[in-house]
Amino acid sequence: MPIKIASESLHACSGCEISILDMGEKLLELLEFAAIVHLPLLMDSKHDSPKKNPRTIKLPKADVGLISGGIKTREHLEVARALRKSCDLIVALGTCATHGGIPALANSYGNDDLLGRCFNTKGTDKADSFPSDGVPGMMDTCSALDEHISVDIFLPGCPPHPDHIFKALESIEKKELFSLPDKSVCDNCPATRNGNGQVKALKRSLELPNWRVYEGKEDFICFLEQGFLCMGPVTKDGCGGNTDSARCIMAQVPCRGCYGPVKKEGNQRLAMLNALASNGIDISSLPETVSMLRFSGGHGLLRPIDRRKESK
Ligand code: SF4
Ligand code: SF4
Ligand code: SF4
């Protein structure tokens, strides 16, 4: 019997579902042991509208529920609860689901600020009130999934590598444990580290990093030592899938931290400030530090700016 998979997308961009398709030929292999019974982005399957009655959401029974996206509206919450109820295992698919992801940057603002920005800024039609008819109510914060429902497997990444999506589903079918290595992006990085960063202020990422030919091989000095903000020291490794090579680094771009903190309970921003300081970079040269958490602002790590000021 194939394992049944049901999937829903909450506060998400659908990139995680595209990553399922990015498996390529492996998708055919997946379909030999798995049947997708519900995945609105790829097939015409819808749940009942919760606008009329939030408790009416009906989803098919499945062995595995893949949920991408965090929770920002009442509808997201009800859909997540309904899938939890109808599936034996829940996989948090992607960094929005595991850590809040890009949408959790909204946690730096209150809902009135967010709605005002959308509906009442220059260039938009002036509105006396925000739309509410038929619109799901907003929660105060954008949360990771495990802040509201229990999650069995965490698959971070923006998006997660298709190899890992396949491996996670295969391990469920084989009744094996699945986990990503507890390593940082730095642990697998081929950069040369001299241990003597000479740069005192961060450079803009628009500048080109230095690459060189060293002993006949193409080589580069650690981005951080060159003064570029590379989140490798505090970011979970795995984005290269089976290749073991971090995707951005191999494209000569510093890591932005999309796999979330290397330690589950870690505060990626504090750990990164520490890494910058120990590389000799003057932290006061950073224009701001909120964007360091642009993938991991759930779990109460980002709060509205005025509340942050008050708590200082
Ligand atoms: S984790 Fe990235 S790719 Fe997946 S839904 Fe969120 S923003 Fe999109
Ligand atoms: S900081 Fe970036 S460039 Fe330097 S070793 Fe770590 S991942 Fe590589
Ligand atoms: S290098 Fe960093 S930002 Fe780039 S894909 Fe990997 S974890 Fe994400």
Task: Map out the domains of the chain as residue ranges.
Answer: 3-173, 185-281
pLDDT, average across residues 208-214? 62
How many Å lie between the centroid of ligand 2 and the Cα of residue 192? 9
Question: What is the strand order of the sheet 153-155 is part of?
Answer: 34-38, 3-9, 62-68, 87-93, 153-155
Q: Which atom of ligand 1 is nearest to the CA of 12?
A: 5
pLDDT, average across residues 151-177? 96
pLDDT, tens digit (0-9, with 9 covering 90-100), for 7-25: 999 999 999 999 999 999 9
Sign of CA dihedral 54, 60, 62, 65: negative
Q: Is 222 in the pocket of ligand 2 (CB under 6 A)?
A: yes
Report how far residue 7's alpha carbon sits from residue 160's, in angstroms, rounded to the nearest whole number.
Answer: 15
Report how far residue 11's alpha carbon sits from residue 73's, in angstroms, rounded to the nearest whole number.
Answer: 8
CB neighbour list of residue 34: distance below 8 Å, 6 or more residues apart = 2, 3, 4, 5, 64, 169, 173
| Higher pLDDT pick, 208 / 193 | 193
Centroid of chain to Cα 8: 16
Q: Is 246 in the pocket of ligand 3 (CB under 6 A)?
A: yes
Q: Is 234 in the pocket of ligand 2 (CB under 6 A)?
A: no
pLDDT, average across residues 234-253? 90
Position 138 confidence tier, pLDDT thresholds 50, 70, 90: very high
Q: Which atom of ligand 2 is nearest to the CA of 233?
A: 6
Residue 204 has a CB neighbour count (10 Å cut-off) of 9
Q: Is 96 in the pocket of ligand 1 (CB under 6 A)?
A: yes
Q: Is 71 in the pocket of ligand 1 (CB under 6 A)?
A: no
Homologous superfamily in CATH for domain 3-173: NADH:ubiquinone oxidoreductase-like, 20kDa subunit (3.40.50.700)
- The pTM score is 0.90
From the number of C-beta atoms within 10 Å of its C-beta (0-12, 13-18, 19+), residue 208 rates as exposed
pLDDT of residue 86: 96
pLDDT, average across residues 257-269? 88
Q: Is 67 in the pocket of ligand 2 (CB under 6 A)?
A: no
Nearest CA among 141, 68, 66 for reference residue 106: 141
Give the pair of three-digit tokens for residue 97. Answer: 């689901």
pLDDT of residue 303: 87
Do the beta carbons of residue 108 and residue 290 sit within 8 Å? yes
